[in-house]
């Protein structure tokens, strides 16, 4: 169980935790003082001239209290403002990577490096909902013995633009429009799609953004990517190109769009809460770090440029090789001090990891330090507890807002003789950072490399690699987003661009948004695919941490509920009994069954699956409750696994009859796909549990046709 209380009852988890402990404070047993340590015995009324008189300026306590409050906000991140984070450790499996890099935290299997990982959405402001359609940030700070290394990636392996000079344009286009600040945390508006139509290099990333990747079920079920091609440098100074991949051990899974929109209202903290709760219950999220390595001699071996951040290296060409394991196992104590004040920077590298000339990365290497200066108020933000390295820090930098250290001595320069030459400059390769030596020459020009010009091939590769259901979701997403665009010519321009990716896709989108489908393929689809790009290939056999709702009312079969709880918990799933009101329900044999929540305080969109146990009275009561019936119908609509036992099956009939089941032609719509039933009370047959678990491990019942089911 993670310790989130304010008092330490355990040994430090790691070197970073030990360091953070020196900054933690605990109000237990203390009395209230001012910031100057002066105790006060009255904090409810300001000092005033008489009972009904004016407040006096000399009330330093009131002024200090209000002044601090007035200054409690700092600028939110200009992008990725909404996020959540956790501590953990990274450990390499073995030392094979030592042939390629001198970065010890990646090559010494005895090292468990402390980390903090922050996940985020990009466009929304700090208070926006979690489940919006957006890219997710996946940023990890490794507090290594050789200094801090930040891997500041996303859950998609490519980016919208090729050169960082376009970043302000892109962000201005996707953010709420400047006249009325509408819409919040959405790309479904004119300026974003106008940008896309004008900037076809964004199309590959837009395909990812319209895919299920943009609505992750959980931060714990997302891949992560370093995006750029970086460079490893080994002990001989030899460089190797590298792309970083994070692969979640739970598989990569998403919400469906209707569900995501509803979850944004039912629980705006859906992803944040999920991360927090998983760590609290000891179900620590884990990812495998993998690398794709390309020798420098193969720099030009691909039909795209390795420096172009709008391109992937298909895994079928260069396999992802496993390096080590990231485990997140502790929640922060204080959101502001830790998650808000953490400052990532792509240029925080350690010996053995270097940059390439990717023009997006080059801009990032400027932007991240720059942005912290306004966000965290000056040049000493790396001294904030969350940002401090565990490696020794000795610089000649002094002064500036918020300096926390008291540097002794008369010198703050090198070389010096007065202070014995300290801090000394030097060390061996591998111990100090030496920039990779690369011969560079060229004219001073503003020009996009010709090798960056193919905007469509990999967008088509992505499209071709999707399963049928993933393709359907992409088409619906384009229709939804472009359907919110007022300018018809922008809709048309986007469709015309899509014709370069795949003419059928363009036509399907056009038909849904009232613009002209393309006459022919602007670019013939090359027909290639990369199976690794489909999320359906990531399914695992586990149902660990999946939330299963058990619907119950008075008269429920108590033994079944108990057996369900046990069977699901045994497989590390999270069963919750939902009742018509909080507290407990009486079972058919008059025992008490604890209710975890009242149905009307939650919704099916917050669960992965639902089961209705037997008990005639319970089912009758549930059938008479709109929330309960809707819960079931909605779970069905969102392709979730549904289980029903004995009389519980009658609630399915009720849900079907509520309109869900009858199509326009009067036929029954609801099929039994993904509906697992058993006829018994008092026990839960093994076969029921096995079938239910295997459907749930598949995440969703995609073979179920829900098109005619009311949303
Ligand atoms: Fe960025 C934040 C990821 C391009 C400028 N970015 C930020 C965060 C992530 C990324 C995960 C949040 C870090 C945190 O949790 O604090 N950004 C990316 C990726 C990119 C990318 C994967 C492309 C491959 N970013 C990018 C460019 C620029 C920036 C091209 C500027 C030229 N990004 C920033 C920033 C932010 C930021 C303005 C906002 C807050 C911060 O840095 O600390 O500097």
pLDDT tens column, 622-673: 999 999 999 999 999 999 999 999 999 999 888 776 555 444 455 555 568 8
Query: Residue 8: its pLDDT value, please?
Result: 57
In this structure, the strands spanning 321-330 and 83-92 are antiparallel
pLDDT tens column, 186-227: 999 999 999 999 999 999 999 999 999 999 999 999 999 999
| Cα separation, 95 vs 692, whole angstroms | 41
Mean pLDDT is lowest, of 211-220, 380-389, 605-614, 624-633, for: 624-633
Residue 103: pLDDT over 80: yes
Q: Could you give the C-alpha distances from 494 to 207, 347, 466, 537, in angstroms and in order? A: 12, 35, 20, 30
User: Is residue 100 within 8 Å of 71, Cβ to Cβ?
Assistant: no
The answer, yes or no, to whether any atom of ligand 1 lies below 6 A from the CB of 361, is: no
The answer, yes or no, to whether any atom of ligand 1 lies below 6 A from the CB of 83, is: yes
Q: Which residue has the tokens 């970073």?
A: 16
Query: What is the Å distance from ligand 1's center to 367 Cα?
Result: 8
In the 8-state DSSP scheme, what is residue 518? P
The answer, yes or no, to whether any atom of ligand 1 lies below 6 A from the CB of 251, is: no
* Catalytic residue (choose from 80, 473, 500, 638): 80
Provide the 10 A C-beta neighbour count for residue 270: 21
Max distance between CA atoms of the chain, in angstroms, equals 94
Residue 620: pLDDT over 60: yes
Residue 677: pLDDT over 50: yes
**pLDDT confidence tier of residue 155, bands split at 50, 70 and 90:** very high
In this structure, the strands spanning 609-612 and 547-551 are parallel
Query: Residue 663: its pLDDT value, please?
Result: 46
Mean pLDDT for the chain overall: 95
* Catalytic residue (choose from 154, 155, 271, 331): 154
For residue 603, report the phi and psi dihedrals to the nearest 5 degrees: -165, 160
Residue 301 in tokens: 């071996």
pTM of the model: 0.96
Residue 552: pLDDT over 80: yes
| Cα separation, 510 vs 507, whole angstroms | 5
User: What is the mean pLDDT of the segment spanning 670-699?
Assistant: 92
SS3 69: helix
The answer, yes or no, to whether any atom of ligand 1 lies below 6 A from the CB of 171, is: no
Q: Could you give the C-alpha distances from 492 to 178, 343, 477, 485, in angstroms and in order? A: 24, 41, 16, 11
| Cα separation, 375 vs 557, whole angstroms | 56
Query: Residue 708: its pLDDT value, please?
Result: 77
For residue 225, report the phi and psi dihedrals to the nearest 5 degrees: -140, 140
Query: Residue 671: its pLDDT value, please?
Result: 65
336 Cβ contact list (under 8 Å, min separation 6)? none
In the 8-state DSSP scheme, what is residue 324? E
Q: Which residue has the tokens 């090729």?
A: 162
pLDDT tens column, 285-326: 999 999 999 999 999 999 999 999 999 999 999 999 999 999
**pLDDT confidence tier of residue 707, bands split at 50, 70 and 90:** confident
Residue 536: pLDDT over 80: yes
More confident residue, 582 or 663: 582
Residue 430: pLDDT over 90: no
User: What is the mean pLDDT of the segment spanning 433-447?
Assistant: 95
For residue 147, report the phi and psi dihedrals to the nearest 5 degrees: 110, 170
Residue 516 in tokens: 């002209």
Mean pLDDT is lowest, of 147-161, 441-455, 482-496, 517-531, for: 517-531
| Cα separation, 34 vs 86, whole angstroms | 31
**pLDDT confidence tier of residue 69, bands split at 50, 70 and 90:** very high
The answer, yes or no, to whether any atom of ligand 1 lies below 6 A from the CB of 152, is: yes
**pLDDT confidence tier of residue 706, bands split at 50, 70 and 90:** confident
80 has catalytic annotation? yes
Query: Residue 340: its pLDDT value, please?
Result: 98
Query: What is the Å distance from ligand 1's center to 221 Cα?
Result: 21
Q: Whose CA is nearest to atom 35 of ligand 1?
A: 368
| Cα separation, 224 vs 20, whole angstroms | 27
Residue 523: pLDDT over 80: yes
709 Cβ contact list (under 8 Å, min separation 6)? 633, 636, 637, 660, 669, 670
Domains, the chain, in order of start with CATH, read: 83-374 (2.40.180.10), 456-537 (1.20.1370.20), 547-697 (3.40.50.880)
């Amino acid at each position: 169980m993670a310790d989130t209380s304010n008092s330490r009852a355990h040994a430090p988890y790691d070197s970073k935790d030990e360091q953070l402990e020196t900054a933690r404070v605990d109000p237990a047993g203390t009395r209230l003082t001012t910031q100057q340590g002066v105790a006060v015995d009255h904090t409810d009324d300001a000092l005033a001239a008489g009972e009904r008189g004016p407040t006096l300026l000399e009330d330093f306590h009131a002024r200090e209290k209000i002044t601090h409050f007035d200054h409690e906000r700092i600028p939110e991140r200009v992008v990725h403002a909404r996020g959540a984070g956790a501590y953990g450790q990274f450990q390499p499996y073995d030392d094979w990577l030592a042939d390629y890099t001198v970065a010890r935290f990646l090559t010494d299997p005895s090292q468990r490096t402390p980390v903090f990982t922050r996940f985020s959405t990009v466009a929304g402001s700090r208070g926006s909902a979690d489940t919006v359609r957006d890219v997710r940030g996946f940023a990890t700070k490794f507090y290594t013995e050789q200094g801090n290394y930040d891997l500041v990636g996303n859950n998609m392996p490519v980016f919208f633009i090729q050169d960082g000079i376009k970043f302000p344009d892109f962000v201005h286009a996707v953010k709420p429009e400047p006249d009325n600040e509408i819409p919040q945390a959405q790309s479904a508006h004119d300026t974003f799609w106008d940008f896309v139509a004008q900037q076809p290099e964004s199309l590959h990333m837009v395909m990812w953004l319209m895919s299920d990747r943009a609505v992750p079920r959980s931060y714990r079920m997302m891949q992560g990517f370093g995006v750029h091609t970086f460079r490893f440098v080994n002990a001989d100074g030899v460089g190797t190109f590298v792309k970083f991949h994070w692969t979640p051990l739970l598989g990569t899974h998403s919400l469906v769009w209707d569900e995501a929109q509803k979850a944004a209202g039912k629980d705006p903290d859906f992803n944040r809460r999920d991360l927090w709760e998983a760590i609290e219950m000891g179900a620590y999220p884990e990812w495998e770090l993998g690398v794709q390595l390309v020798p420098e001699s193969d720099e030009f071996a691909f039909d795209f440029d390795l420096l172009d951040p709008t391109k992937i290296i298909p895994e079928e060409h260069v396999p992802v090789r496993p390096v080590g394991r990231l485990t997140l196992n502790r929640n922060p104590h204080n959101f502001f001090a830790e998650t808000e004040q953490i400052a990532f920077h792509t240029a925080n590298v350690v010996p053995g990891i270097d940059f390439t000339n990717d023009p997006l990365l080059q801009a990032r290497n400027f932007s991240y330090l720059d942005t912290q200066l306004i966000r965290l108020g000056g040049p000493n933000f790396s001294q904030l507890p969350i940002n401090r390295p565990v490696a020794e820090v000795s610089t000649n930098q002094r002064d500036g807002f918020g300096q926390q250290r008291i540097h002794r001595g008369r010198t703050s320069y090198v070389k010096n003789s007065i202070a014995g030459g300290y801090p000394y400059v030097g060390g061996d390769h591998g111990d100090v950072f030496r920039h990779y030596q690369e011969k560079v020459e060229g004219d001073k020009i503003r020009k996009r490399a010709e090798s960056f010009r193919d905007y469509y091939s990999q967008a088509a590769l992505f499209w071709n690699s999707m399963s049928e259901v993933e393709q359907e979701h992409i088409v619906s997403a384009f229709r939804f987003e472009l359907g919110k665009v007022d300018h018809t010519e922008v809709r048309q321009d986007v469709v015309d661009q899509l014709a370069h990716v795949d003419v059928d896709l363009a036509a399907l989108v056009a038909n849904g948004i009232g613009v002209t489908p393309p006459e022919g393929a602007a670019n013939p689809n090359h027909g290639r695919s990369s199976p690794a790009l489909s999320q359906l290939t990531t399914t695992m056999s586990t149902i660990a941490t999946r939330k299963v709702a058990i619907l119950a009312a008075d008269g429920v079969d108590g033994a079944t509920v108990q057996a369900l709880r046990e069977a699901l918990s045994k497989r590390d799933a999270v069963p919750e009994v939902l009742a018509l009101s909080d507290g407990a329900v009486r079972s058919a044999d008059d025992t008490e069954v604890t209710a975890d929540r009242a149905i009307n305080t939650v919704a099916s969109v917050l669960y992965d699956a639902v089961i209705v146990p037997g008990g005639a009275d319970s089912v009758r009561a549930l059938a008479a409750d709109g929330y309960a019936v809707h819960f079931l119908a909605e779970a069905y609509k969102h392709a979730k696994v549904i289980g029903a036992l004995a009389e519980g099956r009658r609630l399915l009939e009720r849900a079907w009859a509520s309109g869900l089941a009858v199509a326009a032609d009067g036929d029954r719509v609801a099929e039994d796909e993904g509906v697992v039933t058993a006829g018994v009370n008092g026990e839960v047959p093994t076969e029921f549990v096995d079938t239910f678990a295997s459907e749930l491990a598949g995440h969703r019942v995609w073979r179920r046709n829900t098109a005619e089911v009311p949303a």
